[in-house]
Amino acid sequence: MVSHSTYQTKQFMQMLDYMKSTEANHVTAMDIRKHFQESGVKLSTATIYRHLDRMLKEGLLARYTIDGSQGYCYEFLGEKHIHHHTPCFHCKCEHCGILIHLTCKEIEALSGHLSQTHHFALDPARTVFYGLCNRCSSGTASSFSDNRCHHD
């Protein structure tokens, strides 16, 4: 929920609208910057990060670390998910770079097993399984190859 006690700038609302339009997808700060540049809206990188931090604090976004060399990916959760978001694991295609949400009872069971039996807690926001997506493994890879965060 957007805080009513904090001043809502035009830039914040534009960015919030953009993040809503990306719901169920991952975007990076550079994706956001590119979108606004192409739209003719002046939004500095510092302002983008400031608004992302605010949205994170308000529970509107989830932030994921996928690769150590790659920055964070952000996912808009929406106001309905603020208190009910279940962290998910991710699969990343080593060929095209697509990032896929993985919400799976078997992986949750593995996480529980690791916790109970091996006293190790997985961090879903940082757990990534690497391999090939269906398109790449079947030889019909898309032309996408820039390793940005995406959702199938």
Which value, to the nearest 10 degrees, does the dihedral of the CA atoms of residues 151, 125, 55, 61 take? Answer: 40
Quick: pLDDT tens for 27-55: 889 999 999 999 999 899 999 999 999 99
For residues 63 and 47, is the Cβ–Cβ distance under 8 A?
no
Judge: domain 87-152, CATH 3.30.1490.190: yes
Q: What is the pLDDT of residue 82?
A: 47
**Can you tell me which residue has the tokens 């957007």?**
2
* CA distances from residue 89 to 15, 117, 127, 134 in whole angstroms, order as listed: 26, 20, 6, 18
CATH 1.10.10.10 range(s) for the chain read 1-85
Quick: pLDDT tens for 91-110: 888 888 777 877 788 888 89
Does the pTM surpass 0.75? The reply is: no
In this prediction, residues 135-150 reach a mean pLDDT of: 56
CATH architecture of the domain with range 1-85: Orthogonal Bundle (1.10)
- In which band, very low, low, confident or very high, does the pLDDT at 62 lie, cut at 50, 70 and 90? confident
- In which band, very low, low, confident or very high, does the pLDDT at 140 lie, cut at 50, 70 and 90? low
